[in-house]
Structure 1
């Protein structure tokens, strides 16, 4: 049950990587935070925290949620159970908690799992951030869609049959979570005659960013933070 003396939970999008893409509201909330929380890979640095690090107060309490980078759902879900419990303790004590989210909290964001556990007990505010989707389009200088085009968002781990059915519908496509799936994704796009229409971006807005035609990508070193943008429509900007 929500009460007046509880703190507020803020899901704050910190953008795709460049700290200058934080919104003014995000920077203000982080800079004034008594408690911040963020996901972090087991034994590694939190990407979300690294983006926002310049704004985090020295005296701030930090809750790192070590997320296993595995395919099993249970292990990851138990991390959000533990993180939600720690966050709830601070909220009940009247302290606001700022959760740092890569990109946007509700676009493939882990904050949705915390929201599901806490929103019925506490006041929650979502502070939207620049998603990797629009960041990659901007870096590639390729519009996502125009006029009556349909934009379809796909993920690299999808099987080839499911991907092919979607791609055959035409329009504008984004394939996220590319990583180790690149060789078979590129082979599928080549088969469908879409390779020449495909652009590639990795680590958008970071100093290590790479932007190029998909056909030119070295398959041996493709990171998780990579994306393919494809256009197979009739808009004049592509002609």
Structure 2
């Protein structure tokens, strides 16, 4: 039997209008749709495509194991995630080898800090795989500020809020423009690093970029509010311009 194809489909930053034509076509014609989510949640990727899927589409929610109580450096963390991805891959591979196409929903771009990459690396040599790129979440975030993120010869650095504070501080100090993703409970550490790097007063906090509940404000004005996972901090470059 001819195998189906695994499609990693980038959904963009959150507004369905910002999807590509190809992504829209694949979604609306999909028979099998897989997406990541936390247990008990609908999942951000699934919410983005609400109302777009065919009524007969078979959905496969891939629920992350609970790992927040285990440090990233603990071997148990990787072990839990590895077992989770193995389970997901086994199910997807079975469908594809039976001739079914499967669309995996990916927030932002599939190859940019996304969970789909772990599915891709496990299946790309085994079954046909196609990836549909998309506008990244960070692009949606800096666009929401109404300012260019880079000029001329600016150096842009993208980093995760999960990094150690000294690493964050060092990279921030070396960069002209900055994007910090995956902030969540790391917000105080990120703020401390920005202050140490002399970038705090220029930082913007964008929550749920391009979505209906989007908020945009200077980080200094956010006070002690707890930021959701879907938050991005942006520091704009001020480089060479004519």
Partner of residue 40 from structure 2, selected from 40, 43, 52: 43
Match status 1:31 vs 2:28:
yes
C-alpha separation between the residues in 2 aligned to 1:194 and 1:83?
Answer: 41
Partner of residue 159 from structure 2, selected from 129, 154, 161: 154
Within 5 A, what are the aligned runs for 1:77-88? Answer: 77-88=82-93
- Are the equivalent residues in 2 in contact too, given 1:203–1:226 (CA < 8 A)? yes
- Are the equivalent residues in 2 in contact too, given 1:182–1:219 (CA < 8 A)? no
Per-residue Cα deviation, 1:171-223 (whole angstroms, up to 9, x for no partner): 11111111222223223322332122111101111121110111101323211
Correspondence for 1:181: 186
C-alpha separation between the residues in 1 aligned to 2:239 and 2:161?
Answer: 25
Aligned residues: 234
Per-residue Cα deviation, 1:49-91 (whole angstroms, up to 9, x for no partner): 1111221111111111111352422222222111111111111
SS at match of 1:31: helix
- Are the equivalent residues in 2 in contact too, given 1:132–1:204 (CA < 8 A)? yes
Match status 1:111 vs 2:116:
yes
Q: CA RMSD in A?
A: 1.7
Partner of residue 229 from structure 1, selected from 227, 234, 237: 234
Alpha-carbon offset, residue 134 of structure 1: 0.3
C-alpha separation between the residues in 2 aligned to 1:83 and 1:188?
Answer: 37
Correspondence for 1:128: 133
SS at match of 1:168: helix
Structure 2 unaligned segments of length 5 or more: list them: 69-76
- Are the equivalent residues in 2 in contact too, given 1:194–1:232 (CA < 8 A)? no
C-alpha separation between the residues in 1 aligned to 2:160 and 2:175?
Answer: 16
Partner of residue 199 from structure 1, selected from 200, 204, 212: 204
- Are the equivalent residues in 2 in contact too, given 1:155–1:175 (CA < 8 A)? yes
Correspondence for 2:213: 208
C-alpha separation between the residues in 2 aligned to 1:112 and 1:170?
Answer: 27
C-alpha separation between the residues in 1 aligned to 2:107 and 2:78?
Answer: 20
The worse-fitting range, judged by mean Cα deviation, of 60-69 and 182-191 is: 182-191
Q: 1:119 to 1:56 in 2, by over 3 A?
A: same
Alpha-carbon offset, residue 147 of structure 1: 2.2
Correspondence for 1:18: 15
C-alpha separation between the residues in 2 aligned to 1:9 and 1:212?
Answer: 39
